[in-house]
Amino acid sequence: MSWIVDSSLTFFQKFCVNVIKCGPIPNHIAFIMDGNRRYASKTKVEKAEGHVKGFDKLAETLQWCLELGIKEVTVYAFSIENFKRSDDEVATLMKLATEKFQKLLDEKDRLMAEGVCIRIIGNLSLLSPELRKLIAEATLMTKHNKKAFLNVAFAYTSRDEIVSTAETIVEGVKKGFLDVDNIDEDLFSDCLYTSASPEPDMIVRTSGELRFSDFLLWQIADSHICFAQVLWPEFCIWHLLACIFKRKMGMTGSKGS
Ligand code: FPP
Ligand code: MG
């Protein structure tokens, strides 16, 4: 499946999307797409097929977000912890990523027409040169797009990002670009992998697990959290609309509370 798909919403679902759009819509949603392997065993298919279904659901979810007017999406596609899985599974996920990033380049015209800027955040030194090249090409190709932003966290953990940020700042001080007195929360945010993005308004995790799994720990300090009780490939527009509605109901209207 492609990264950009046509709308699969029914007339009634589109109507509900328009109703929800009358209220506050998050500008930026982060997704922890969990449950692909449980979905594979539930539906008696290979693990690899569960991950393919996971990618297909990602493409569908991105289309819903475009229809809802959500400008930015960040997804947890591969954690540094995932390198501890079996060699077979890591190879399968890397192959899937290579195919999908290649497909993204092949679909250049569609992506540019939609104005989607793609960023990959993570410790890219842990990836193969082939994957790094594809990622660099996709990033450069779309860097001037401004209609929508998709951040793919790949070889990412928050703690790795925070250590890397601290190293960047130390380097800046050592080289004399920065003074120790310049170090504050804003500077730290500006040195994170996510420096180009606003903080997520909402984080959604599927599969029923109530954990953050080392994802965007700095950035979600003030985000609404929504746990969806379905496996990622089963996530549907109703779950997304319910999360947006629950955030609206929980909004106090003021930061700092
Ligand atoms: C979590 O389910 C999912 C992953 C570790 C991989 C997510 C990857 C995709 C959805 C494909 C995206 C690919 C690209 C290139 C963006 P799990 O494997 O932890 O399943 P479980 O929780 O049931 O064990
Ligand atoms: Mg999991």
One-character DSSP codes across the chain: --SS------HHHHHHHHHHTTS---SEEEEE---HHHHHHHTT--HHHHHHHHHHHHHHHHHHHHHHT--EEEEEEEEGGGGGS-HHHHHHHHHHHHHHHHHHHHTHHHHHHHTEEEEEES-GGGS-HHHHHHHHHHHHHHTT--SEEEEEEEEE-HHHHHHHHHHHHHHHHHTTSS-GGG-SHHHHHHTSTTTTSPPPSEEEE-SS----TTSSTTTTTT-EEEE-SS-GGG--HHHHHHHHHHHHHH--SSTT-
> Is the Cβ atom of 152 under 6 angstroms away from ligand 1?
yes
> Is the Cβ atom of 33 under 6 angstroms away from ligand 1?
yes
Tell how far the Cα of 82 is from the centroid of ligand 2, in angstroms. Answer: 9
> Is the Cβ atom of 82 under 6 angstroms away from ligand 1?
yes
Please name which of 30, 159, 154 lies closest in space to residue 93, comparing C-alpha atoms.
154
pLDDT of residue 251: 84
Strands 148-156 and 72-79, sheet pairing? parallel
For the ranges 16-20, 199-203, 249-253, the lowest mean pLDDT is seen at 249-253
Tell how far the Cα of 35 is from the centroid of ligand 2, in angstroms. Answer: 5
Q: In testing the pocket of ligand 1, which one of 2, 4, 32, 37 has its CB within 8 Å of the most ligand atoms? A: 37
Q: pLDDT band for position 137 (50/70/90)?
A: very high
Q: Which atom of ligand 1 is nearest to the CA of 82?
A: 5
> Is the Cβ atom of 51 under 6 angstroms away from ligand 1?
yes
Q: pLDDT band for position 257 (50/70/90)?
A: low
Question: Which tens digits make up the pLDDT trace of 41-82?
Answer: 999 999 999 999 999 999 999 999 999 999 999 999 999 999
> Is the Cβ atom of 85 under 6 angstroms away from ligand 1?
no
Question: Which tens digits make up the pLDDT trace of 161-176?
Answer: 999 999 999 999 999 9
> Is the Cβ atom of 55 under 6 angstroms away from ligand 1?
yes
Atom 5 in ligand 1: residue holding the nearest Cα: 78
Q: pLDDT band for position 253 (50/70/90)?
A: low
Atom 3 in ligand 1: residue holding the nearest Cα: 34
> Is the Cβ atom of 37 under 6 angstroms away from ligand 1?
yes
- pTM, entire model: 0.96
